[in-house]
Structure formats: C-alpha cells, structure tokens
A and B are shown apart, each in its own frame.
Chain A
Amino acid sequence: GDSVTQMEGPVTLSEEAFLTINCTYTATGYPSLFWYVQYPGEGLQLLLKATKADDKGSNKGFEATYRKETTSFHLEKGSVQVSDSAVYFCALSGTGGSYIPTFGRGTSLIVHP
C-alpha cells in the first residue's frame, strides 16, 4: 500500500536558520503530494501542495518540489521564525482512484529565539 516516511523529530533550530524536513513516499500511480502544518492545540491545515512531477508548491516562505525520480517532497524554508514552531505532516492522495490521504508520522519543529 501507499506510505509516507518523514524524518523523525524534533528538529530544533535557532531563528533565521535554514530548514529542511525530508519526506519520501511509496505509491502506485501518480499521487498528489501535500504538506500540512499543525500548530499547538489545533487541527491540521494545508501548507502547500504539488500535483505532478517537478511542480513546486510554496506558501509563507516554505517550498517543496515534487521529485518523481527520487519519490521525494522535502520541505524547505530559508529563514525560520519562532512562529513556525509546529508539527509538519507530509501526505499523499489520489492513487488508484482513492482520495484517502495517507500521512507521515509528523515532524516537530522547535524554533528558539
């Protein structure tokens, strides 16, 4: 079945540091790929998405590129802020006619001033 693997956290950074959170996937067909963010005490919300190979999703300074050849969708940000502290989930959907999202286990990001 489909699966998503994320790097384990927590990831701890100082403000203005560069962020990378790795995500790889296994899927049949050509899924859409997503990053969701969960701020403390809240549900998940969409951060960005990409729907086909070589697409780049971007939002709030975060970026991720759909790499079919390496089955990856790594999340990056050039300069993190304390307010980016949250849990980040990589996800996929749309394989084999299924619209059920498959999520990674989440990566906690902690940004210190």
Chain B
Amino acid sequence: DVKVTQSSRYLVKRTGEKVFLECVQDMDHENMFWYRQDPGLGLRLIYFSYDVKMKEKGDIPEGYSVSREKKERFSLILESASTNQTSMYLCASSLTGDNTEAFFGQGTRLTVV
C-alpha cells in the first residue's frame, strides 16, 4: 500500500514563528502536492513539485515556501506564521500519468495563536 505520512497530526504555533510541515511518501511518486482545507472552500493548492528540487506555485502560495531535496520528502514552510494560516494542511503524491489518482496523508491541523 502507498503510504503518505505527515509528521504531525496537530500543531500549535505562535504568530511570527517559522513552521515546518513534513511529508514523506514511500512509493517513488514523482509528483507531490500541498493543499490547505478550509470549511466552505474545499481544497486549495499551495505548491506542487514534479521532481526533486523542482517546485511550482499553486493557487495560494503567498506566505508559504516548499523544499524537495529528496524524491520522497516534500516540506511546507510557513516563513512567519499568521493567524489566517490556521487550517488543515494535506499532503498528497501521485505518479505521472493520465489516469493516476492522488494519495493523501492524514493531514496536519495547524493552529496559529
């Protein structure tokens, strides 16, 4: 079974802190994604990566950056956390191909106080 693992289920951080969310997948997928999920807004794409060291902005990249130094690991960084970044963060991965589905981690519920 494909497994996508996010390092934390719950995080509480203070405004202004630098926050790292880690995601690891174990099936050699080329593509990795970070979404945030908010009530009434569904899933919004923050960043994605097609390969090691490659990254592309999604729909809402402001206030975030990412790092992909190894194929299996994709990190989301909040440079200076703000209260409006309180949300559920979901990591996903997929193979490259027309018919492939995304595999998701369990999610990280981040609260910024």
Map CB proximity to B onto A5-20 as digits: 1 under 8 Å, 0 otherwise.
0000000000000000
Contacts of A99 in B (CB 8 A): 31, 94, 96-98, 100
Shortest Cβ gap from B108 to chain A (Å) = 10
Judged by a CB distance under 8 angstroms, whether A43 is at the interface is yes
Judged by a CB distance under 8 angstroms, whether A51 is at the interface is yes
Q: Are A105 and B90 in contact (CB under 8 A)?
A: no
Total A-B residue contacts, Cβ distance less than 8 Å: 60
Map CB proximity to B onto A78-113 as digits: 1 under 8 Å, 0 otherwise.
000000000001010110000111011110000000
Interface size bracket, B side? 20 to 34
Shortest Cβ gap from B94 to chain A (Å) = 6
Q: Are A51 and B90 in contact (CB under 8 A)?
A: no
Q: Are A51 and B98 in contact (CB under 8 A)?
A: yes
Judged by a CB distance under 8 angstroms, whether B84 is at the interface is no
Judged by a CB distance under 8 angstroms, whether A69 is at the interface is no
Residues of B67-84 contacting chain A, CB below 8 A: none
Shortest Cβ gap from B47 to chain A (Å) = 11
The chain B residues found within 8 Å of chain A, CB to CB, are 4, 31, 33, 40-43, 45, 48, 58, 90, 92, 94, 96-107
The chain A residues found within 8 Å of chain B, CB to CB, are 32, 34, 36, 41-46, 49, 51, 89, 91, 93-94, 99-101, 103-106
